[in-house]
């Protein structure tokens, strides 16, 4: 029997808000942005970068939000730069597509 066949309604677990916040750190991006007075997008990209390289979110939070003096993680920095570059490329592409549609 495959794992897909074993999946049923009893496999679904509804998490409390507290459980969701612990399990899925990205749920907290808005609160973290307010608490540390930083852009929410900065936090989102940081958490995505952590996830991409298999690094715990707490490292990003400690280093870049709490400003704890811990060593930089080169792999995290590279992943963040890559995500930021992709985001900028996507924004430029949308901008040029809009100009073509509008006929500028």
As a whole number, mean pLDDT of residues 61-74 equals 95
In a domain, 6, yes or no: no
Residue 1 located in a structural domain: no
| CA 100/CA 103 separation, integer angstroms | 5
* Ramachandran quadrant class, 47 (left: phi over 0; alpha: psi -120 to 50; beta: rest): alpha
Residue-level pLDDT at 52: 94
Structural domain boundaries enclosing 75: 16-102
In the predicted model, is pLDDT for residue 85 greater than 80? yes
Side-chain-side CA neighbours of 103 within 13 Å: the count stands at: 0
The answer on pLDDT for 66 being more than 90 is yes
**Structure confidence at residue 35 (pLDDT):** 94
Please report whether residue 23 resides in a domain: yes
Domain count, the chain: 1
* 96 belongs to a structural domain: yes
Residue 7 lies in a domain: no
Find where tokens 């609160």 sit. 31
Considering the domain boundaries, does residue 50 fall inside one?
yes
> At 22, is the pLDDT very low, low, confident or very high (cuts 50, 70, 90)?
low
């Amino acid at each position: 029997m495959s794992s897909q066949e074993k999946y049923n309604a009893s496999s679904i677990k509804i998490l409390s808000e507290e459980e969701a916040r612990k399990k899925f750190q990205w749920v907290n991006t808005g609160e973290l942005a307010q608490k540390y007075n930083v852009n929410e997008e900065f936090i989102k990209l940081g958490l995505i970068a952590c996830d991409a390289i298999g690094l715990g979110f707490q490292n990003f939070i400690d280093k870049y939000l709490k400003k704890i003096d811990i060593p930089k993680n080169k792999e995290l920095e590279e992943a963040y730069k890559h995500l930021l570059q992709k985001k900028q490329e996507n924004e430029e592409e949308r901008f040029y597509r809009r100009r073509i549609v509008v006929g500028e």
